[in-house]
Amino acid sequence: MTGCRRVGVIGLGRMGAPIAGHLAAAGHEVLGLDPDPVAGADLPVTVRRVTEDRELAGCEVVLVVAGGTAVARILLVDGQLRPSLRDRDVLVCSTVDPEEMRRLHEAAVRDGGRLLDAPLCRGDHGARRGDLLALVGGEPAVLARCADVLSAFCSDVVHVGGPGAGQVAKLVNNMLLWSTIASVVEGLRLAEALGVQRGPLVEGLCRSSADSWVLRTWERPRELPWADEDMRLVLDAASRAGADAPVSDVVQRVIGAVRSSGVLGEGGLGSAGWALPAHPVGEEAPGG
């Protein structure tokens, strides 16, 4: 499906605002909704701000790009899909607990809606560039109808399975990301303690079997705002599934210390304050 479409974007923060801009640049008629009047202050004039969800009723596609804990409140009222979101395609681009995502799919089917879970990877950098990755769960026919909308801000779209599968994929992605960040910080801290400078070491590791996206983008500032919530979701899902997750258990404790240290706030190679706060493995890390 191609051509100009009316698309609603709920959530105009670090991800939603640039996504709305890309959609408008692609020729779509874009309506943006966010309860925070400051959010999306730099939206292009071609994006029309609305103040109530009922104003999205004329949209063919609605994207939800809000914090994961707010998604159920955005989609449902009194346990039912909001009337403004019925009989249209709704893409949940937020990171949501997979079990809750499946319940939202069931509510949408029951109440005449069409839902995809389409959490996004590559963060606000990818949102600004318009080369995000969407990991999609839901019906292939719904995805086919929304392909042109996703292509406005995604360079890659992968359909990983049925309802909730996109959130499972994002959960695993996040677990591996935070695990890698924690490992890289610890490894580079060890190297520095042993007298090896970070810059040359990172260059060498990027050409070795230790190469990773985290190392290759090491100079990029990272505030890790979602690390704690992401790891909580991982461990909750593992517990429900009866799956062992010893690495995730450690990462949940360690990643809070990494964030609190400020090591990555100004970019991994240029940041000061390299030392991590010490804490016993059996205790909760600061902010964890």
pLDDT digits 0-9 by tens, 81-138 = 999 999 999 999 999 999 999 999 999 999 999 999 999 999 899 999 999 999 999 9
Residue 40 appears among annotated catalytic residues: no
Average pLDDT over the chain reads: 89
Query: How far, in Å, CA of 72 to CA of 158, rounded?
Result: 24
The partner residues of 219 in beta bridges, in order of sequence, read none
pLDDT at 278 exceeding the cut of 60: no
Identical topology for domains 6-162 and 168-261 = no
Binned at pLDDT 50, 70 and 90, residue 258 comes out as confident
CATH of 6-162, one of 3.40.50.1100, 3.40.640.10, 3.40.50.720, 3.40.50.150: 3.40.50.720
User: For 38-64, what is the mean pLDDT?
Assistant: 93
Interatomic CA distance for residues 199 and 287, integer angstroms: 28
Q: What is the CATH code for 168-261?
A: 1.10.1040.10
Residue-range domain boundaries for the chain: 6-162, 168-261
CB 170 within 8 A of CB 121: yes
Q: Which of 170, 222, 253, 259 is catalytic?
A: 170
pLDDT at 268: 64
61 contacts: CB under 8 Å, gap ≥ 6: 5, 6, 7, 8, 88, 89, 90, 91, 145, 146, 149
Under the banding of pLDDT at 50, 70 and 90, the label for residue 264 is confident
